[in-house]
């Protein structure tokens, strides 16, 4: 966990704590605290007076990565990416033939951090900001623990409306602990969602990968010298669907919710026949039972909006949300934001 404490001296009794959580494949520091130009979201919030915390779940970033130092525990279909081979590595089935973590362990880890912040910083609740697959952890946690969560800001949330509610049996689930990603694969995958002039800076190809590698001291030594491979934990998820989102009227009720996503984001709105991979942001907005809910579509933005030209507008949107819990002076509705940061009702 990293902290950027922006609470002004003499105002500790007015401290507002914010907790930021990463998605599936990008560590929290690379995603939320990129040390390049104006891209650090956490720094922008701290400068606005917030006490900002960022956490990596087990298996991600600088948190412990059990079973992930062994290259044999890479997805067998991706072991060909380990060239040159790490010392002593011979391709083959995983030595630990299971997925690494699951929804229960992730939410337990989130709870540990939340309780630590509440205790150590003397706050009653924590404001949540989550990117992408962070929704799988933060959404259900907020539903179960409304007394600890003041608000929920979900950027590009992954939401399967018909996803399963029940844990699989047995746990741990068979499989392998981790996937790999490459520098080219990361950049090119992101590029599939670039459709506007100036949507991303060419420099970001190196800056983002350098930050990911800085959070992966082992993966950075795998693969081509000077490039490395990013290790991505493999986890089992359940309990985040239209039933969960509506449960008890908590979301949009005692926990106000703001959802934001890019118009070109093809990861959050899919058309898979498998309900576990059929994702929809509008379905999340519709599933939330409470009235205090807002949704903003960002012009000229993809899933990696934190590294695109709209990043400052996302920072400003989150700052306004944390202070006012409104968008365009409203607590409910759907909106669009242009590249100048202007907000208007969605057509």
* Contact criterion met (CB below 8 Å) for 263 and 301: yes
Token digits of residue 289: 């039972």
* Contact criterion met (CB below 8 Å) for 308 and 199: yes
Of the chain, the percentage scoring pLDDT greater than 70 comes to: 100
Could you tell me the sign of the dihedral formed by the alpha carbons of 324, 38, 214, 191, in that order?
A: positive
Per-residue pLDDT at 301: 98
Confidence of residue 11 (pLDDT cuts 50, 70, 90): confident
Q: Domains of the chain: which residue ranges?
A: 2-345
- 56 CB-near residues (< 8 Å, 6+ apart): 1, 22, 27, 28, 29, 62, 63, 215
Of the chain, the percentage scoring pLDDT greater than 90 comes to: 97
The model's pLDDT over 272-317, given as tens digits with 9 standing for 90+, comes to 999 999 999 999 999 999 999 999 999 999 999 999 999 999 999 9
**Polymer length in residues for the chain:** 347
Bridge-based pairing state of the strands 332-337 and 343-345: antiparallel
* Contact criterion met (CB below 8 Å) for 139 and 240: yes
**Any idea which fold 2-345 has?**
Rossmann fold (3.40.50)
* Contact criterion met (CB below 8 Å) for 34 and 308: no
DSSP character at residue 251: B
The model's pLDDT over 60-113, given as tens digits with 9 standing for 90+, comes to 999 999 999 999 999 999 999 999 999 999 999 999 999 999 999 999 999 999
The model's pLDDT over 186-205, given as tens digits with 9 standing for 90+, comes to 999 999 999 999 999 999 99
Q: Mean of the pLDDT values across residues 245-251?
A: 98
Bridge-based pairing state of the strands 293-298 and 257-262: parallel
Q: Is the pLDDT of residue 139 over 80?
A: yes
């Amino acid at each position: 966990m990293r902290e950027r404490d922006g609470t002004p001296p003499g105002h500790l009794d007015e401290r507002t704590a914010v907790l930021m959580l990463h998605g599936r494949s990008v560590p929290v520091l690379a995603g939320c605290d990129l040390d390049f130009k104006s891209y650090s979201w956490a720094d922008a919030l701290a400068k606005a007076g917030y006490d900002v915390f960022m956490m990596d779940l087990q298996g991600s970033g600088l948190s412990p990565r059990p079973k992930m130092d062994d290259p044999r525990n890479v997805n067998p279909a991706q072991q060909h990416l380990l060239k040159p081979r790490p010392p002593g590595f011979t391709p083959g089935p995983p030595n630990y033939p299971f997925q690494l973590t699951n929804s229960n362990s992730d939410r337990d880890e989130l709870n540990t951090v939340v309780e630590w912040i509440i205790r150590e910083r003397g706050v009653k609740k924590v404001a949540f900001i989550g990117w992408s697959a962070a929704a799988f952890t933060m959404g259900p946690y907020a539903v179960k623990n409304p007394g600890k969560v003041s608000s929920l800001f979900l950027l590009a949330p992954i939401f399967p409306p018909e996803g399963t509610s029940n844990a699989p049996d047995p746990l741990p689930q068979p499989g392998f602990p981790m996937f790999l990603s490459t520098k080219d694969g990361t950049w090119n995958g992101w590029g599939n969602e670039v459709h506007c002039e100036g949507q991303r800076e060419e420099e970001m190809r190196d800056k983002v990968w350098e930050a990911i590698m800085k959070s992966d001291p082992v993966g950075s030594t795998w693969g081509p010298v000077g490039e490395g491979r990013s290790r991505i934990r493999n986890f089992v998820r359940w309990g985040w669907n239209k039933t969960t989102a509506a449960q008890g009227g908590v979301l949009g009720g005692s926990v106000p919710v703001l959802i934001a996503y890019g118009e070109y984001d093809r990861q959050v709105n899919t058309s898979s026949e498998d309900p576990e991979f059929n994702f929809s942001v509008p379905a999340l907005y519709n599933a939330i039972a409470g009235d205090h809910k807002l949704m903003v579509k960002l012009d000229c933005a993809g899933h990696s909006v934190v590294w695109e030209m709209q990043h400052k507008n996302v920072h400003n949107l989150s700052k306004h949300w944390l202070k006012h819990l409104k968008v365009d002076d409203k607590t409910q509705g759907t909106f669009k934001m242009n590249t100048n940061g202007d907000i208007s009702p969605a057509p």
